[in-house]
Amino acid sequence: MVQQELIEGCKNGDRKAQRALYDQYSSRIYGCCLKYAPNAIEAQDILQDSFITIYNKIEQYDYKGSFEGWCKRIAINTALQRYRTAKIYSLEDQSILIEDEPVEVSDLEEITLKELLAMIQHLPDRYRMVFSLHTMDGYNHKEIAAMMGINEGTSKSNLSRARQNLQQMINEWREKNTSNAG
């Protein structure tokens, strides 16, 4: 089925069209979910919740913009809602912004995507969410603040701390792999 036929079928409640839509988009949307989840099991839960929402709101898709982008936006919102209700955003005063040290590109050349994703998943929830929204999906701090119900300073601080934590994990990885190689 062509994408438009799948979408129309889903709008009409056709189970075969829903299954075909899931088969066509689930792996790409799952990749999006992995960026926001602390592990694969949570990412799978977010994926399933996202598809329930996609099926329930598919009537709202108006063929403007990418359908895959629309689905990923639902997945991001599903992840945000999941963690918003878990109250991971209750933070201490974040008014002091720590200067970022950029992650060295040479550090990333030897790390596989799977290893890097695992490091991102090990970030504290609030840092992982801001890092993924900002660095991986391109949202600015004003948008992130609105999406997460936090202020812009907290978003900036969380991003800074996420980068610091990630840099520390990369350094530890490098030390481990350098000592194992020698």
For the chain, domains (ranges, CATH) are 3-85 (1.10.1740.10), 105-181 (1.10.10.10)
The DSSP call for residue 12 is T
Higher-scoring residue by pLDDT: 83, 152: 152
Mean pLDDT value of segment 111-133: 91
pLDDT band, residue 77 (cuts 50/70/90): very high
Query: Does the pLDDT at position 151 exceed 50?
Result: yes
Which residues, 6+ apart, have CB-to-CB distance to 168 below 8 Å?
none
Q: 88 near 37, Cβ under 8 Å?
A: no
Radius of gyration for the alpha carbons in the chain, expressed in angstroms and rounded:
19
Q: Which residue has the higher pLDDT, 106 or 109?
A: 109
Contact yes or no for 144/109 (Cβ under 8 A): no
Pairs from 96-100 (Cβ < 8 Å, separation ≥ 24): 96/157, 97/153, 97/156, 97/157, 97/160, 98/157, 98/160, 98/161, 98/164, 99/160, 100/159, 100/160, 100/163, 100/164
Instruction: Say what the pTM is.
Output: 0.75
pLDDT level of residue 179 (50, 70, 90 thresholds): confident
Higher pLDDT, 144 or 86: 144
Binned at pLDDT 50, 70 and 90, residue 109 comes out as low
